[in-house]
Amino acid sequence: MVYEIEEETKMIKPIQVIAIIFAIFLLVKAILRLKNKKLTINEFLFWSAISLILIILSIFPQLSHIVANFFGFGRGLDFFIVSSILLIFYLIFRIYSMLEDLDSKIVKLARSISLKEIKDIKSLDRRQLKDKINQI
């Protein structure tokens, strides 16, 4: 009976194959984005680590139980779900922070463009001003 359980755990399951393919896809996308300068080294290292961890846990699923027990979880899946939720919250926070920074930059840019246009309009004489208004 114990022998059958051990043999069953040695067989690779379809979900493991899917996870490995997804991790390889994620790693390739990270490499391509790094080459195109759309990803920083830190972001590349982050996504590469996620991919490699996913590959390792897919090949050796028993490691998830060891890690889960170390952190006080009963099952590897419980640890994976909780850590995934925490990771998602962190990523959402980072995206929110980036959006706030972009919003602030857009406001500054719009203000500087408006001020430049006002200065340009003030420098025009009446005839040029009428022409400018008619263009709008």
pLDDT, tens digit, 9 for 90 and up, residues 37-54:
999 999 999 999 999 999
Q: What is the pTM of this model?
A: 0.68
Which tokens sit at 34?
């790094």
Q: What is the pLDDT of residues 87-109, one digit of tens each?
A: 999 999 999 999 999 999 999 99
- Give 39's DSSP letter: S
Round to whole Å and give the CA distance between 91 and 97. 10
Round to whole Å and give the CA distance between 95 and 22. 23
Q: What is the pLDDT of residues 48-81, one digit of tens each?
A: 999 999 999 999 988 999 999 999 998 888 999 9
Domain boundaries, the chain: 1-60, 76-136
Round to whole Å and give the CA distance between 38 and 48. 15
